[in-house]
Structure 1
Amino acid sequence: MFEVLVFVYENYWRGEAVPELHQLERKLSAHGFEPDEIHDALVWLDGLNIAADQSQPTPEAPEPFTASPHSLRVFSVAEQDHLGAACLGFIAFLESSGVLPPYLREIVVDRAMAAPGDPVPLDALKIIVLMVYWRFGHEPDALVLDELCDDTEGRLAH
């Protein structure tokens, strides 16, 4: 599924250029992706679209979800188990860096909970964060993009 999401991100980097899901399914199939991978990715993308549409401003709620600077997000046991320590730490890092506001964090967590893996691999979470930025039309700055695209396997901790 994540290979399909990366393909969509790389080929439709402007979210509005993405064809309808049934047309996208045909294009992905033509590029050689397996039907199960395509189905899983399209279901996941549909969930992302629903979450993004629900977070859009309305007359009743003119701003996206905002949190007090003193608020604390407590993850449920199910979220802790499914995301694992590495993903939770990465989410906290993005938040503390000021690049993942609370309303996007909630969508990242929602989409990560819909992703396979137990726990979700950190590389998969990075793709999820990229897809959430992509869906909202946010272009991460170079340092954030480097962190999201960096391969940590060859990294030596000091």
Structure 2
Amino acid sequence: MKENIIDVLLYLFENYIDTEESHKPDKDALELELEQVGFQELEIHKALDWLENMTVLADQPVTQHATMRVFSDNEKERLDVECRGYLLFLEQVGVLDVETREVVIERVLALDTDEIDLDQLKWVVLMVLFYQPGREVAFAWMEDLVFEDMEAVIH
């Protein structure tokens, strides 16, 4: 039986990300499908709430300033050094901007898990970028990175 919110989110993302709008199931059908796959009702509801609360940035000019991000104790507990370093890397190469980085951190904290690993963080970044207007290039870059990592594990 599948047990955590990120598993539900990954299932939804992998199965419905490229689906045409007319082929997407309604919420009730989706909940039923997820239950039939083996997800628990509580985790399904938490995952759907997580998606509904996805922050979408308004189309406004982004003012990038050299900033230093100081992580709170709670953030450090949930994001280890490797994850925090990866967020910094993504920001330095332009995949994340300051605002999108904050959305990623907020979405990670919204997951019902004590700690998130690097692979899970990459999927959260991918989901956040998918929902951000004007971030298509960053999404494509991140998608390539995530799927390249998956292929490396498979081979």
Q: Same fold (TM over 0.5)?
A: yes
C-alpha spacing 1:92/1:129, structure 2 compared with 1 (3 Å): same
Alignment match, 1:46: 52
* Displacement after TM superposition at 1:39 (Å): 1.8
C-alpha spacing 1:117/1:147, structure 2 compared with 1 (3 Å): same
Mapping for residues 3-152 of structure 1, pairs under 5 Å: 3-14=7-18, 17=21, 21-48=27-54, 51-52=55-56, 55-57=57-59, 63=60, 65-68=62-65, 70-136=66-132, 138-139=135-136, 140-142=139-141, 144-149=142-147, 150-151=149-150
Secondary structure at the aligned position of 1:74 is classed as: coil
Unpaired stretches in structure 1, ≥5 consecutive residues: 58-62
Whole-Å separation in 2 of the counterparts to 1:44 and 1:129: 14
* Displacement after TM superposition at 1:86 (Å): 1.4
C-alpha spacing 1:21/1:111, structure 2 compared with 1 (3 Å): farther
Q: TM-score, normalised by structure 1?
A: 0.73
Unpaired stretches in structure 2, ≥5 consecutive residues: none
The question of whether the paired residues in 1 share the 8 Å contact of 2:8 and 2:39 is answered with yes
How many residues are treated as equivalent by the alignment?
Answer: 143
Q: TM-score, normalised by structure 2?
A: 0.75
* Displacement after TM superposition at 1:134 (Å): 1.9
Query: Alpha carbon RMSD of aligned pairs, Å?
Result: 2.8
Whole-Å separation in 2 of the counterparts to 1:30 and 1:64: 44
